[in-house]
């Protein structure tokens, strides 16, 4: 960090306008299959959320734009309702332009969707070819493994385009009404990290696909309230404890035009979270998970439909899904499991016999990045160095081997390896440096910086650099000795003899971390520059800490989490420079639920701000909620105590509730139910609702307004004399 910047303070307007204060990020960074170039999506300088397709040519060192989204679509995109929902699930709803793309295996072409149609960029001719031209919205498009076809979903059916013959072929025909072919169901997209429903075999002769039947799921009416209209959306939403969709698995043979259905067993009340072809293109793997998510099996299916179970995982609480199934050339495979209390890697033969545990220790593997079979090396990211950092490791697959840390800088490393495991792209940041992207040899030798995001005098954040406050990390302990990580930012102009209010920023839910040594949200710096101590703590239930740490919330969400946040409050009150009467809590989504629970269960917080909060998990979906809470039928007391309604009588301090009126994730009903209960009991509160807004309340103007509302609430109630 440089020390010659102007001591300029942040404003909410500047934080959420272009160019981004975090620099121009590179999204969806990929190696071309031939290893010649790196491609990525990058926002425009005057519109940080509209993405174009760029490349970095490794040999020449030149970086240039390949496809300008505004040239192809000068009038902007028009999205179908299905695509809007899909992007909301993928957390890309606020982005426009080219938001996804994929390579052909020969490295000669790039496929991308725009406004419902598909385009292919040819690197040799530098021409853009429109592959589909339909009034219907084509989605989930990709090249076949060898690039002979482009496949996509249209009107709930699977289509392929033969690129050589320029002919479109429809593969399924029964997709309509409640039947969807090749499409991921709602909970798969939202909760399983599976946003597709079909998979090519390596030989391009077969496509495995899921057929979803939604007829079993009850229709609910969801109101999307806009500024001047109200839309009644009829949606099949699987509320916890109620019916799920029925899923089937099939293999379609392109050469014979025949479909083989796979026998998934007699129990239809199951999940099908993962499907993957083996390298021989003759065997399909699929995972079945029980409705209570305490049993997971890996199964192999042959082309004739015969199936066999290869392995099974079991848990007394729940099993976390992962995508770390990696098939080797002989159909042996590497598999991840939490059976010893931490997520680690295991080597199996092709019959499901365990050969050895590859990694071990009181830390977790994040993800397999590549396997070099010739050298028997596996590359993965993990928390081995520190639970608040992510690093790249290499390790021999042979017995007794130890991992070797490849990444060197302290901080957070998001890694992409090339197909040959010779190079890697490192998206690195820490608390004082926004994400930069560099290209390395697998040895850790730097080859070139792809996106130098150093905060120099040309960087958007440079004028605010001297006002940037450092982050400190620390550890606290629960009563049973488990370690809680926290971070703290002291206010600008900090003087230890003064007393300061605190902005506690929480999320608190599963599969997430707030306390990481990575670039954070600039809004935290804004609060520090307005005289607040900024504090965050990862309570039990949060990610990357192992089974015992995560499962403390089982069947009673909002219990252990609040206990741990109060340990953080006790620590804050022990600091002489903290004003113990002016500690406020803020959270969004699960964090909003946490803020409400904190305000109803304790008087430790002077104010609370809850955005898009879950108030009753009976209003949430099956897969997420039942994983942690079981069903309302089996755990009625847990659901009742987790809901906030019975305890609103305990709210004595200012509370602000914010919600988007078209939220299709945490439904607006969560807040309206809360409003009614509080009104009936005479509990005063403040609210801000956003017509037409989804869960993220996205868009520059909306983001400015919502964060002004949040920050001004803290300033008004906890900070006297601060600028607003």
**376 vs 85 pLDDT, higher one:** 376
Residue 13 falls inside a structural domain: no
Q: What is the pLDDT of residue 723?
A: 35
pLDDT one-digit tens code per residue, 584-593: 999 999 999 9
CA distance 199 to 213: 19
Is 266's pLDDT higher than 80? yes
DSSP structure string for 98-121: ----EE-TTSSEEEEEETTEEEEE
| pLDDT single digits (tens) 366-424 | 999 999 999 999 999 999 999 999 999 999 998 778 889 999 999 999 999 998 899 99
Q: What is the pLDDT confidence band of residue 532, given thresholds at 50, 70 and 90?
A: very high
Per-residue model confidence as pLDDT tens digits over 694-707: 999 999 999 999 99
Report if residue 449 sits inside a domain. Answer: no
Q: Return the sign of the alpha-carbon dihedral for residues 499, 501, 505, 508.
A: positive
Q: Does one domain contain both 640 and 498?
A: yes
- Over range 643-659, report the average pLDDT: 97
Overall average pLDDT of the 45-55 stretch: 83
In a domain, 452, yes or no: no
Looking only at Cα atoms, what is the longest distance across the chain?
80
Q: Calculate mean pLDDT across residues 80-91.
A: 54
642 in any annotated domain: yes
- Residue 720 pLDDT grade (very low, low, confident, very high; cuts 50, 70, 90): low
- Compute the Cα dihedral for 440, 445, 449, 452 and give only its sign: positive
In this structure, are 183 and 95 located in the same domain? no
Q: Which of 36, 37, 66, 31 is nearest to 51 (CA)?
A: 66
CATH (domain of 692): 3.40.50.1820
**pLDDT per residue over 438-493, tens digit each?**
999 999 999 989 989 999 999 999 999 999 999 999 999 999 999 999 999 999 99
Same domain for 179 and 119: no
Name which of 621, 681, 508, 496 is nearest 245 in CA terms: 621
Strand order from edge to edge, sheet including 109-114: 102-103, 109-114, 117-122, 127-130
Residues 161 and 281 in one domain: no
**Domain-embedded: residue 33:** no
pLDDT for the residue 107: 87
CA-based Rg of the chain, rounded to a whole angstrom?
Answer: 26
The structural domain count of the chain equals 3
* Residue closest to 508 by CA, chosen among 564, 551, 548, 555: 564
Q: Are 530 and 572 found together in one domain? A: yes
Map residue 488 onto helix, strand or coil: strand
Boundary-marking domain end, from 165, 185, 208:
165
Say if residue 83 is in the same domain as residue 231. no
Check residue 73 and report its DSSP letter: -
Look up the domain containing 153 and give its range.
Answer: 42-165
Q: Residue 434: inside a domain, yes or no?
A: no
For position 209, which CATH number holds? 2.140.10.30
The domain boundary residue, chosen from 257, 289, 317: 317
Task: Reply yes or no on whether the pLDDT at 6 is more than 50.
Answer: yes
How much is the pLDDT for 116? 82
Residue 301 in any domain: the answer is yes
List beta partners, residue 436.
Answer: 428
In a shared domain, residues 99 and 227: no
Query: Is 376 part of any domain?
Result: no
Contacts of 383 (CB under 8 A, 6+ apart): 363, 364, 366, 389, 390, 544
**Mean pLDDT of all residues in the chain?**
93
**Residues 692, 602: one domain?**
yes
Say which DSSP state 499 is in: -
Q: Which of 119, 138, 165 is the last residue of a domain?
A: 165
What's the first-to-final CA gap in the chain, in angstroms?
Answer: 28
**235 — pLDDT class (breaks 50, 70, 90):** confident
Does the pLDDT of residue 1 top 50, yes or no? no
SS3 at position 717: helix
Per-residue model confidence (pLDDT) at position 2: 43
95 and 175 inside one domain: no
Looking at the fold, whether 161 and 175 belong to one and the same domain comes out as no
Closest CA to 9 of 681, 688, 466, 663: 466
Q: Which residues are catalytic?
A: 589, 663, 695
- Whether residues 608 and 666 share a domain: the answer is yes
Residues 109 and 199 occupy one common structural domain: no
* pLDDT at res. 534: 98
**pLDDT tens string 309-354:** 999 999 999 999 999 999 998 889 999 999 999 999 999 999 999 9
Task: Check if the beta carbon of residue 345 is closer than 8 Å to that of residue 334.
Answer: yes
The predicted pLDDT at position 74 comes to 56
């Amino acid at each position: 960090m440089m020390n010659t910047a102007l001591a300029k303070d942040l404003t909410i307007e500047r934080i959420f306008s272009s160019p981004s204060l975090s620099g121009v990020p590179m999204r969806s960074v990929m190696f071309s299959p031939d290893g010649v170039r790196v491609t990525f999506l990058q926002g425009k300088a005057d519109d940080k959320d509209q993405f174009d397709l760029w490349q970095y040519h490794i040999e020449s060192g030149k970086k240039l734009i390949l496809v300008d989204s505004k040239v192809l679509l000068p009038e902007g995109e028009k999205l179908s309702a299905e695509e809007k929902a899909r992007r909301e699930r993928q957390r890309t709803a606020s982005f426009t332009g080219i938001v996804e793309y994929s390579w052909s295996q020969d490295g000669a072409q790039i496929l991308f969707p725009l406004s419902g149609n598909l385009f292919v960029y040819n690197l040799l001719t530098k021409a853009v070819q429109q592959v589909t031209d339909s009034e219907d919205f084509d989605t989930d498009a990709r090249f076949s493994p060898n690039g002979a076809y482009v496949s996509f979903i249209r009107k709930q059916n699977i289509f392929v385009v033969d690129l050589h013959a320029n002919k479109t072929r429809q593969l399924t025909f029964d997709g309509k009404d409640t039947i969807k072919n090749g499409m991921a169901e709602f909970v798969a997209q939202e909760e399983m990290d599976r946003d597709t429903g079909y998979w090519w075999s390596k030989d391009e002769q077969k496509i495995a696909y899921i057929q979803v039947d939604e007829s079993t799921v009850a229709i609910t009416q969801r109101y999307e309230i806009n500024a001047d209209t109200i839309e009644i959306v009829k949606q099949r939403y699987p509320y916890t404890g109620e019916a799920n969709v029925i899923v089937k698995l099939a293999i379609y043979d392109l050469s014979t035009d025949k479909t083989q259905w796979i026998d998934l067993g007699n129990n239809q009340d199951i999940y099908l979270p993962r499907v993957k072809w083996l390298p021989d293109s003759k065997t399909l793997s699929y995972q079945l998970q029980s409705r209570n998510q305490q049993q997971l099996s890996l199964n192999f299916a042959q082309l004739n439909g015969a199936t066999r179970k290869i392995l099974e995982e079991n848990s007394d609480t729940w099993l976390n899904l992962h995508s770390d199934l990696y098939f080797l050339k002989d159909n042996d495979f590497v598999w991840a499991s939490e059976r010893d209390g931490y997520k680690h890697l295991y080597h199996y033969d092709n019959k499901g016999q365990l050969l050895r545990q590859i990694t071990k220790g009181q830390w977790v593997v994040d993800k397999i990045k590549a396997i070099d079979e010739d050298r028997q090396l596996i590359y993965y990211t993990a928390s081995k160095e520190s639970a608040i950092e992510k690093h790249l490791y290499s390790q021999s697959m042979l017995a007794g081997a130890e991992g070797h840390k490849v990444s060197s800088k302290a901080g957070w490393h998001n890694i992409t390896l090339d197909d040959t495991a010779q190079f890697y792209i490192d998206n690195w940041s820490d608390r004082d440096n926004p994400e930069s992207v560099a290209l390395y040899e697998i040895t850790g030798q730097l080859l070139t910086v792809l996106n130098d995001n150093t905060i120099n005098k040309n960087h958007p954040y440079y004028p605010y650099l001297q006002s940037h406050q450092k982050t400190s990390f620390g550890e606290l302990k629960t009563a049973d000795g488990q370690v809680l990580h926290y971070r703290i930012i002291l206010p600008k102009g900090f003087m230890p003899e003064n007393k300061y209010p605190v902005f506690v920023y929480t999320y608190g839910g599963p599969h997430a971390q707030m306390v990481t040594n990575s670039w954070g949200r600039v809004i935290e710096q804004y609060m520090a520059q307005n005289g607040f101590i900024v504090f965050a703590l990862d309570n039990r239930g949060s990610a990357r800490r192992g089974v015992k740490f995560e499962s403390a919330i089982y069947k009673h969400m909002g219990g252990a989490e609040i206990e741990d946040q109060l340990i953080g409050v006790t620590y804050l009150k022990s600091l002489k420079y903290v004003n113990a009467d002016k500690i406020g809590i803020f959270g969004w989504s699960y964090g909003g639920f946490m803020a409400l629970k904190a305000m109803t269960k304790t008087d430790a917080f002077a104010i609370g701000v809850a955005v898009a909060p879950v108030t009753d998990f009976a209003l949430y979906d099956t897969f997420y909620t039942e994983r942690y809470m079981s069903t309302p039928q089996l755990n009625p007391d847990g659901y009742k105590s987790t809901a906030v309604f019975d305890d609103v009588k305990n709210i004595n301090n200012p509370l602000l509730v914010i919600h988007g009126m078209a939220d299709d994730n945490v439904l607006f009903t969560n807040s309206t139910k809360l409003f009614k209960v509080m009104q009936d009991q005479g509990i005063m509160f403040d609210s801000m609702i956003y017509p037409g807004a989804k869960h993220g309340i996205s868009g520059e103007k909306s983001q400015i307004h919502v964060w002004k509302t949040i920050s001004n609430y803290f300033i008004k109630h906890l900070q006297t004399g601060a600028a607003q």
